[in-house]
Structure 1
């Protein structure tokens, strides 16, 4: 990518677009709250982009053609990520209406027991989030249901919220369907399967510590009994045809992943598998979504396509479950796609103008070893979460800022993508004014400061990243 190499901008001037972006995002979050991603954050990014362009051209005589080429190259590099996100939207719809996700939730709810409620809640949210790729959806749906169950059992609401958030962010972080996972890997330029496999070295130990903590808490905290879990499970069974045969869909997808097929091919096959399962196992739902009086060829065609690209809402009679089984398809990913394009514009002009390089030079002066590189990345991810109040922006800025630095120091790109996820993704929900923190506090009805100490996975993840870097486990330098 071309840079304005005639005169490298001053770090102070280079920081101005970031300051403008931070202030604008702060105002957007205050004004729109959890709806900031619907357009406000995108306008903030484009506004900060224009500031960067004006400074580059006005102060450093950078040619617009250089900036334009950098923007185009950035957007071109994100094309596969955008296609993956659209396929993720299709999977979210087809896996839900086909009964794959409801079957997984059904069997998960069956294992609930008061003594092991906390650890089971964490595990259920992890599975649901892993299969749906969305921590927000998991928390806002099954998480809300588990909050009600936990309160009925007499558990402190901070503990219950902490287990839900820990499980949801674990699944989100490792899911092929997660937009943050796709964003982190694509921003750094790492194959998504490589990225997910490498995250296991920090994510699994962090989750084991969280599960152990929740197990001990469940054995020691006072609690009662509840039949809520059984009620939700039976409601799902009354709406969907629950069958262990439906688990063949995620199993077949897993086989494709193990065989290391390209992500786009794997995800497309996953959609096809689910469409076949939908027609075989849930013809009544296909007819309902397709809007026909009977399941003829045209109704089936409309139902399958609507499930892939559009909004679906299957009534279950229970508000929380209605929200859980509602899907948005490919259309539901368009705000994230819009955000990525705007972020790529901002990153492009920051790179093309040399401003990103100027800021990176500051870190180059003292980042010598693996630990200092990872510590800087983790610190930057948390810092951007604090400043920009948005995890998506934090992921993009952290990845773009350190990508060249890691390459020059000989560190693997997958180390950067993992460090970004260990900080920018999981810590966003711990910050009260961050869009994630505000949303989850509102959805669960628990203050961020109340649930924060009990989000064990989210707290341990960045520390585990630092520990693994300190001992050098599975970390190699490129030759």
Structure 2
């Protein structure tokens, strides 16, 4: 402790310069471009993590040059990663859920019924609407993607449809519902940071969000009619293979019901999803004992230990089906906490970089030119959206993007007489929905991990997440739906100016006065 205090006394903290903030950012852009060029979609399985970690080290070196201590820089990185531990535990819970749901027949039942009932022409539209309805009800895009989203991607694979497009439909519906739900963490956070009434915020979002989802549904309808299913599980023989392996009936959907009920009762997502995973394991023992025995394949153990080991293995490393039919085995295998390790690796390296960039004040310095050029309400809207998207890319976390953007521009909106719900809407139209399009953002990494489709693959097909920010920028350019209030009214800025520019990096993690917490 004495050494740390003496180190702080000896070093003089200098304010960051713009060119210094650009050094780690330019390095990251070049490194990511090289990683994608060399490895393509496989870049997220290691090369991107290396690029992020090297960029974090470079940012720390520049910060050290400006007077920040090694201990403080290290703490900033660690604290930033620590802020995502809740997300990491959710990821592990989803991995366990997918493993037990595969073994219990939950996903097999949804896939079997979906393949038999759903018309491929309307699949993408149906998937979007279903995810939107459930997300509005439970208020969590992550819960929807990690449960019904997994099953819908499996159904698309069984129908011979594009899993990347199916993932895009799941994400579009999940994010629409998440945005419009009063139970959503991001909806409450955006309103709280901007100082807006929650329901005024939701009504304000309808101006951009409803047209966005209608256009999205129209695109999916056209693509559905033009789809040419191939290579799917579309024959009675292959469907019979599923029914021969699993006991297909409505009882296998109990784990899904468990998750929905727990989510509606506002149980934290990790516990709701983990409850669904345990329900899937218990159901596998009751309804699919032969499946569990075949999976464990160890005659030396008695029945109770075989059942226990089967559930344990499914939660840890995932379930592997063995029907002898490749398409069926691919459909019904996967999951396990182990399958999420690469996603966790990506989140850790991204947030370490974002934490150091925030602590050193580099993020604030990069945003400063946008704030200074805000000369009108239209410019304020455009600058807010650009900042939010940029922070999603650089900071790697949607909550940080929402908090920093809101606190940087809230005073500008107040001075110009723009209603706080207009600011909160612009933040959600850009920060919330684009987070899932960035591979190293915690949301993009999560979606890719649970849906088993790379971010680069589903990115072109998550139409709602492209169209919504595009419409918000069009509205900004033409001054549409910019609600006004009396100049000087509105909530005071949430964070002190100094904290945003690097004097206290942890202050950027503060939550709104209503007590909502990411």
Shorter chain as denominator, the TM-score bin is 0.7 to 0.9
Shift of 1:275: 1.5
State whether residues 291 and 303 of structure 1, in contact with CA within 8 Å, keep that contact through their aligned partners in structure 2: no
Shift of 1:66: 2.1
Question: Counterparts of 1:266-285 in structure 2 under 5 Å?
Answer: 266-285=272-291
Shift of 1:97: 1.5
State whether residues 91 and 267 of structure 1, in contact with CA within 8 Å, keep that contact through their aligned partners in structure 2: yes
Moved more, 372-381 or 260-269: 372-381
Match of 2:434 among 396, 420, 423: 423
Counterpart Cα distance in 2 of 1:62 and 1:224: 57
Q: Is 2:403 aligned against 1:406? A: no
Question: Counterparts of 1:109-124 in structure 2 under 5 Å?
Answer: 109-113=115-119, 117-124=120-127
Structure with larger RCO (C-alpha < 8 A, sep 6+): 1
Specify the SS of the correspondent of 1:406.
Answer: helix
Counterpart Cα distance in 1 of 2:227 and 2:53: 52
The corresponding residue for 1:359 is 366
Counterpart Cα distance in 1 of 2:81 and 2:386: 27
State whether residues 125 and 171 of structure 1, in contact with CA within 8 Å, keep that contact through their aligned partners in structure 2: yes
1:333–1:320 distance in 2 versus 1, CA, 3 Å: same
Shift of 1:457: 3.9
Equivalent pairs counted in the alignment come to 430
For structure 1, which runs of at least 5 residues remain unmatched after alignment?
Answer: 150-159, 177-181, 385-391, 429-434
Match of 1:256 among 262, 267, 270: 262
The corresponding residue for 1:152 is none
Counterpart Cα distance in 2 of 1:288 and 1:81: 33
The corresponding residue for 1:290 is 296
Counterpart Cα distance in 1 of 2:325 and 2:378: 49
Specify the SS of the correspondent of 1:61.
Answer: coil
Match of 2:246 among 236, 240, 248: 240
Q: Could you tell me the TM-score, scaled by structure 1's length?
A: 0.72
State whether residues 131 and 175 of structure 1, in contact with CA within 8 Å, keep that contact through their aligned partners in structure 2: no
For structure 2, which runs of at least 5 residues remain unmatched after alignment?
Answer: 1-7, 132-141, 179-183, 193-197, 411-419, 440-446, 484-488, 493-518
Counterpart Cα distance in 2 of 1:205 and 1:426: 20
Shift of 1:296: 0.3
1:18–1:96 distance in 2 versus 1, CA, 3 Å: same
State whether residues 56 and 353 of structure 1, in contact with CA within 8 Å, keep that contact through their aligned partners in structure 2: yes
Shift of 1:240: 1.9
State whether residues 139 and 440 of structure 1, in contact with CA within 8 Å, keep that contact through their aligned partners in structure 2: no
The corresponding residue for 1:133 is 146
1:457–1:321 distance in 2 versus 1, CA, 3 Å: farther
Counterpart Cα distance in 1 of 2:482 and 2:148: 30
Q: Is 2:58 aligned against 1:51? A: yes
The corresponding residue for 1:463 is 470
Match of 2:234 among 210, 229, 247: 229
Counterpart Cα distance in 1 of 2:185 and 2:34: 24
The corresponding residue for 2:169 is 167
Q: Could you tell me the TM-score, scaled by structure 2's length?
A: 0.67
The corresponding residue for 1:388 is none
Moved more, 343-352 or 231-240: 231-240
Shift of 1:50: 1.4
Counterpart Cα distance in 1 of 2:146 and 2:282: 21
1:328–1:374 distance in 2 versus 1, CA, 3 Å: farther
The corresponding residue for 1:78 is 84
State whether residues 121 and 164 of structure 1, in contact with CA within 8 Å, keep that contact through their aligned partners in structure 2: yes
The corresponding residue for 2:506 is none
